[in-house]
Chain A
Amino acid sequence: DAKTTQPTSMDCAEGRAANLPCNHSTISGNEYVYWYRQIHSQGPQYIIHGLKNNETNEMASLIITEDRKSSTLILPHATLRDTAVYYCIVGNTGFQKLVFGTGTRLLVSP
């Protein structure tokens, strides 16, 4: 599985956009980028995924660079409830196991 690199922690002010980067320089052509988050004392929660085009849903936007070696998850208006560990994962469509790294701990403050 391709590896990902994320900053250990980030801070964001409530109401501002949170931009969480992820490097996946060894990603192969048929591998997707997935983002999950884990709020304290809960199981992980799917956020969004993409292959090469930018994606947006009700939770977030995903921006993937043209060379696909990195991506950014954007939470457009972060709230206190967005405080969580965010995991960037790469894998083939239909892959069976999620390979989590240590993720980015995002702290949203008032």
Chain B
Amino acid sequence: DTGVSQDPRHKITKRGQNVTFRCDPISEHNRLYWYRQTLGQGPEFLTYFQNEAQLEKSRLLSDRFSAERPKGSFSTLEIQRTEQGDSAMYLCASSLDRDWMNNEQFFGPGTRLTVL
């Protein structure tokens, strides 16, 4: 499978714990995005990387959230001191910047986080 993969698919944690999610984009894609989706809502943009540079962060990304893409390939999203309000599906997507007219983003299956 050469699509976007995310790990883990499900994570249950207790309030106050730290969690880290991983996203592996499609191999030649240089853009990587993180979104969050709560029940009944559309995905909300969190942050975006072009290669290893984090170029935009949403106001939704509080100080407890940090994302990295150290070598311009896979990315991690860490949430520190989790709160119950962090419970959501975390989606990763990737795209190729030469497809600028198309702007087709390829999404992974998501990581569902439940904070107890």
Interface residues of A (CB under 8 A from B): 32, 34, 41-46, 49, 85, 87, 91, 93-103
Determine how close the nearest CB of chain A comes to the CB of B50; give it in whole angstroms.
8
Q: Do the beta carbons of B109 and A42 come within 8 Å of each other?
A: yes
The main secondary structure of chain B at its interface with chain A is loop
Contacts of B105 in A (CB 8 A): 44, 46, 98
Q: How many chain B residues touch the partner (CB < 8 A)?
A: 28
Contacts of A95 in B (CB 8 A): 103
Contacts of A46 in B (CB 8 A): 104-106
Q: Do the beta carbons of A101 and B109 come within 8 Å of each other?
A: no
Q: Do the beta carbons of A96 and B43 come within 8 Å of each other?
A: no
A45: nearest chain-B partner, CB-CB = B107
B101: nearest chain-A partner, CB-CB = A93
Further 7 A-B residue pairs, CB within 8 A, beyond A98-B43, A102-B40: A32-B103, A43-B4, A43-B110, A93-B101, A94-B103, A96-B56, A98-B105
Q: Do the beta carbons of B42 and A49 come within 8 Å of each other?
A: no
Pairs A–B under 8 Å by Cβ, sample size 12: A42-B110, A43-B93, A44-B91, A46-B106, A49-B104, A93-B100, A93-B101, A94-B101, A95-B103, A97-B56, A98-B105, A99-B45
Contact of A44 among B58, B100, B102, B107 (CB under 8 A): B107
Determine how close the nearest CB of chain A comes to the CB of B20; give it in whole angstroms.
19
Contacts of B110 in A (CB 8 A): 42-43
